[in-house]
Amino acid sequence: MPQQTNLEPRVSALETKVTALTTRVAAVETTLAQNAAADAALAARVTALEIAIEGNPPPPPPPPPPSSTVDARTFAGGTHAGTAADPWPGSAIKAAIDSLNGAVGTISVADGVWKFDVPVTVNKSNWTLQGATRDGAILRFENTGQLWVNVGDRVKFDRLTFDCSHLPVNNPAAGLRVSAATNSSMTGCKVLGHQNGGMPGTFWEGGNDNSIIGNDFHGEPFGGDNCCQLQPLGGTLDARWTVSNNSFSCVNLVVIGLSDVQIKSNTFTNGPMGNMVAIQVCGAWDKTVTNVAVDGNTLDIGASNGVAITGLPNDPGGMSVIDGFTITNNIIKGTFAAIHCQSFDSNNYLDNTLLGNEKRNVVISGNTLHSYWGAAGIDLRGGAGRVDTVLVENNTLTNSVGAANAIGRDANTLNVTVRGNTGVPNV
């Protein structure tokens, strides 16, 4: 018989090897799982570091509120002819604005007269008040009538006439008052001034990032400062205003206590009245304002009256400090044409009226001044205050009578550089 081979030891040995191999595979799988977990943790740490270094990406912007257009006549409580005898009620405009209930909306103002004879207050944001046509949609203010927009964001007035010429002299209030507005504007409008020459028909106080662009202001037949005034309001930024490409007839522009102001490319005339016109800038009551720029304006009234770009003193007890006052590239023509840092009123230099008034880092450059009746001048006098660190360069001063043009200074004019001017000594 053939001899049998004993296989048991060999089978046993193979089984031992298979067991050992299975154990090793399990160990490798465990290690791979541990490595994957470690990799995930490391990736999370890298992501966290990237966010810490680069900042969290901004969340997507919220969807804008719904937009709508509302006809103000819908809220008039009946049909009106829109005439002076049968006007639309101004209260309908307030009701239309209130009806938006937070939506972004346009209030359509039909042509005709809209009468405000009592105060009306609006406390809403995100609306545009838009006339059908500028000369046809007339907001007429009488007696104590006023539209007061109090604390509004993204409020816009467009293609409207604000007729403040029916407000009585003894009413010390503007027809349109806008308080603490932000990102707001008046464009393509017409303003007829208050009967009181010292009371502006439209009055903006406080806020920031606002603009007055492409409007038509008429001071006649009353004149003075009766159309537009901008000034500060406590608790607001009082900064970043633009007043540009407007026309001013027989009226001054008055800007008080605002920083980062651009007054540019406006036109001033005085045909209907022949009165003096000016751009007047005043500092704040108790703090320094910065960066007021008056650039590229045309004030040309011929041989009819005086004309000026001028600083303005505050009321007694207040300051008028501007750090960074630039007056550049303007055309100034009148019987007497001048630029004044502190005040156009010669009486203010005879006493302490200008005490606390300072203009610092002043640049007067590239202006053209012509006087028909006397000398043209640039006035750097400080009076009882101070004008400090001034550059006067590349201006042209002429006159029609052969008078000596001048750059005025006094003991409180400090650190002046004069160069490159024509028609005046560069000393």
Residue ranges per structural domain of the chain: 69-237, 252-427
Reported pTM: 0.83
Comparing 44-48, 146-150, 312-316, 388-392, the range with the smallest average pLDDT is 44-48
Q: Which amino acid is residue 217, in one-letter code?
A: F
Q: Which CATH architecture has domain 69-237?
A: 3 Solenoid (2.160)
pLDDT at 33 over 60: no
Distance, in Å, from the CA atom of 427 to the CA atom of 407, rounded to the nearest integer, reads 9
Tens of pLDDT along 93-139? 999 999 998 779 999 999 999 999 999 999 999 999 999 999 999 99
Per-residue confidence at 49, pLDDT binned at 50, 70, 90? very low
Q: Where are the beta strands (DSSP E) in 277-385?
A: 277-282, 288-295, 298-300, 307-311, 320-328, 331-334, 337-340, 357-365, 368-371, 377-379
Task: Specify whether the backbone of 151 is left (phi greater than 0), alpha (psi in -120 to 50) or beta.
Answer: left
- Asked if 115 and 85 count as a contact pair (C-beta separation under 8 A), the reply is no
Structure tokens at 187: 């464009």
Q: State the residue for tokens 């046509």.
A: 133
Q: What tens digit of pLDDT does each residue of 321-337 get?
A: 999 999 999 999 999 99
Beta strand segments in 2-160, E: 67-71, 88-89, 104-109, 112-116, 119-122, 127-131, 137-142, 146-150, 155-158
